[in-house]
Chains A and B, each alone.
Chain A
Amino acid sequence: NAGVMQNPRHLVRRRGQEARLRCSPMKGHSHVYWYRQLPEEGLKFMVYLQKENIIDESGMPKERFSAEFPKEGPSILRIQQVVRGDSAAYFCASSLKGEDYGYTFGSGTRLTVV
């Protein structure tokens, strides 16, 4: 059981480029959550997806950010035209059911915008 797999672990992008972060949930889990974490801060919710559906995107900025979880393949968090303020750790978590409290988190992608 490989757990939640995120890649890449580290990503460096220049301002204005696009960043694509991937997340494969635990086997059998169909609920995926993306969180952003700034240094010394908590986990801030961004978006909640099920296969082919966005359930809640209330925490995701309206511009430049998008997320998907296709029928086949990993969930993708996409950040267009990155800015320095996008530098953060992005964590993906998955759960078997939406009401579960025990999320399984991936190791995160650390995005640095230079």
Chain B
Amino acid sequence: GQSLEQPSEVTAVEGAIVQINCTYQTSGFYGLSWYQQHDGGAPTFLSYNALDGLEETGRFSSFLSRSDSYGYLLLQELQMKDSASYFCAVRDQGSGNTPLVFGKGTRLSVIA
């Protein structure tokens, strides 16, 4: 089975940087994904890390350390529109027949 842990809530100031952590336990491991979901909206895919290190996409970056079973999502130059829930997700087997398992999500509130 799999389990993912992430903080339930984070508050940060507009323009600042925030890091949302995710630790996971899986029997195997084939990558960590991040999704964003605004209230009342659909989850949208943000990033994916299969290998250790940092992946940067604009203001968002995602980091993975496979040896620590740990990853994080880094949001820079925070904007009010970044207020949303952020979910990490894993698949613990490499075959195509296992769906993604999501964490419970971190609710980010960006304040002025």
Where the two chains meet, the residues of A that have a C-beta atom closer than 8 Å to any C-beta of B are 4, 31, 33, 35, 40-45, 48, 55-56, 91, 93, 97-99, 101-108
Please give, as numbers and ranges, the residues of chain B lying within 8 Å of A106 by CB-CB distance. 42
List chain A residues, Cβ under 8 A from B102.
35, 42-45
A102 and B48 within 8 A (CB): yes
Query: Are the CB atoms of A99 and B44 closer together than 8 Å?
Result: no
What does DSSP make chain B's interface, helix, strand, loop or mixed? Answer: loop
A101 B96 Cβ-Cβ under 8 A: no
A41-B104, A42-B104 are contacts. A104–B96 as well, Cβ < 8 Å? no
Q: How far is the CB of A46 from chain B (nearest CB, A)?
A: 9
Q: Which interface class (under 10, 10 to 19, 20 to 34, 35 or more) fits B?
A: 20 to 34
Interface residue from B42, B94, B103 paired with A99 (Cβ < 8 Å) = B94
* Among all A-B residue pairs, the 7 with the closest Cβ atoms: A98-B96, A42-B104, A102-B45, A105-B42, A99-B96, A43-B102, A101-B48
Which residues of B come within 8 Å of A, CB atoms?
30-31, 33, 41-45, 48, 87, 89, 91, 94-105, 107
Min CB distance B87 to A, Å, is: 6
| Known interface pairs A44-B102, A99-B91, A107-B41; 18 further A-B residue pairs with C-beta atoms within 8 A, sorted by A's residue number | A4-B42, A33-B99, A43-B102, A45-B101, A48-B97, A55-B97, A56-B98, A56-B99, A97-B96, A99-B95, A101-B89, A101-B91, A101-B100, A102-B48, A103-B45, A103-B100, A105-B42, A105-B43
What A residues does B94 contact at CB under 8 A? 99
Contact B105 A42 (CB under 8 A): yes
Bound CA span A35–B44, Å:
14
In angstroms, Cα B34 to Cα A42, docked, is 13
